[in-house]
Structure 1
């Protein structure tokens, strides 16, 4: 009797195992079919490259103080984005990030009172985002790796010193710098990894505001933040630097952030000048 029951049990287990294997094989085959990468066609590539050149033109105009010219070119960017298919170029999250970046820039440039610093940062975010679409292996936003590393180091130092004022300043600075590259990250990287960094940055910011003793919690967050940054940036370390925000010198801070963004974006002119596909040539500002 025991032997018969054992045989029945073994038979059931075998049947379940075979069924599971069959289902797994089907789902794997189906999943593999759905994850075949889509390659963009030449028309898509040309439109994205034109979008990148137009964003560079806008950025150069904004740097020179030509707000009306920048606003006009921004409208061209908005029109171009609606005519581009992004399949094979970026994910849905990346496409939404680009659209949101354009929308935010339009709010800044169409505001009743234009803010020059916000306009410059909006133009820079848009410029980095379009570059991320056209240069998947070496986008310009990788230059912010050292900047964000320094911000995290500043957080760690302030938390160890238990200096809440410096901690709040470091968290605000991290948020500003991370915000500049955030659309580009969504365009270039896995959305789940970006969301991890989003959560950590939000956690740190909230701790500096709502907690009387945030130091231990922030120190615990520093390690994971470094790990996520390394993954997002693939440990591509370059030489771009942004200074710490000196609240006593807001004008100097505005000028400094503009100068560094210009350094981060300046070499785009050289890359674009090497290419001639019948597109309109944009004059670059060669000042570094």
Structure 2
């Protein structure tokens, strides 16, 4: 009986304290990256920028030296993640901090790494209600026929989209994100026209509104179909070609980023 109890204790100890790699289940680094990103964002919110810098340096080093062979991530997604690190680093090292941009940069970084760690239920899905509220706000201002307030509301909509954009590249097909971003950019451009063309702006706004739900949990082809509604054939081809070119450029940029991280690490 005592031998059985002893064997049980040994088994429990083995399960609790044996490294995952020994058990044949090597833990993925993506959750650690996501946790670090959340901590960095929390420090930025609290204004503890020096600590945030140190944490960001650690995350950047681990990410740039990470093994991506077992991680499902496109080159565009990898570039989006690295861009958020670079963007936040630039804001943190400024002599005169810009609090608003700093918070946006840290949020973009946090959402992107969260999307990598939680592909089924990423935090950026919570922006569905934010985007819908933005659409409602633009519509209300258009009814009052006050172009400046419409431009302000569209600007808010665009900022909210761009906060999530890096996470979209992690979660979605790059062609899909490229098409959606093109539509949002078109919305911004139309709102900035003087004089404003309400009919064209309304049409694009409705197109974006119909796209929100499929972007959250729809299929890639459904989002693309909505993005390409009313678009002639040549812009579709241009988007595809642009995606191929962007893929090559982002890969080169990523390689440069990795080399720069190694250089900084060795120099320090």
Q: Which residue of 2 aligns with 1:67?
A: 49
Q: Which has the larger radius of gyration?
A: 1
The question of whether the paired residues in 1 share the 8 Å contact of 2:112 and 2:170 is answered with: yes
Q: Which residue of 2 aligns with 1:82?
A: 64
Quick one: distance in 2 between partners of 1:60 and 1:194?
A: 28
Can you give the 5+ residue segments of structure 2 that lack an aligned partner in the other structure?
A: 1-23, 219-268
Can you give the 5+ residue segments of structure 1 that lack an aligned partner in the other structure?
A: 1-40, 236-288
Quick one: distance in 1 between partners of 2:105 and 2:196?
A: 34
Quick one: distance in 2 between partners of 1:55 and 1:215?
A: 41
Task: Compute the displacement of 1:156 (Å).
Answer: 2.6
Q: Which residue of 2 aligns with 1:106?
A: 89
**Regions of 4+ moved over 4 Å:** none
Quick one: distance in 1 between partners of 2:58 and 2:196?
A: 49
Quick one: distance in 1 between partners of 2:107 and 2:34?
A: 12
Quick one: distance in 2 between partners of 1:154 and 1:178?
A: 15
Taking structure 2 as the reference length, the TM-score comes to 0.68
Q: Which has the higher helix share?
A: 2
**2:167 counterpart of 1:191:** no
Q: Secondary structure at the match of 1:46?
A: coil
Task: Compute the displacement of 1:55 (Å).
Answer: 1.0
Task: Compute the displacement of 1:191 (Å).
Answer: 1.6
Task: Compute the displacement of 1:42 (Å).
Answer: 5.5
Q: Which residue of 2 aligns with 1:119?
A: 102
Task: Compute the displacement of 1:68 (Å).
Answer: 0.5
Q: Which residue of 2 aligns with 1:140?
A: 123
Q: Which residue of 2 aligns with 1:58?
A: 40
Q: Secondary structure at the match of 2:28?
A: helix
Q: Secondary structure at the match of 2:47?
A: coil
Q: Which residue of 1 aligns with 2:111?
A: 128
Quick one: distance in 1 between partners of 2:132 and 2:192?
A: 22
Q: Which residue of 2 aligns with 1:179?
A: 162
Taking structure 1 as the reference length, the TM-score comes to 0.63
Q: Which residue of 2 aligns with 1:234?
A: 217
Quick one: distance in 1 between partners of 2:133 and 2:81?
A: 27
Task: Compute the displacement of 1:140 (Å).
Answer: 0.8
The question of whether the paired residues in 1 share the 8 Å contact of 2:169 and 2:177 is answered with: yes
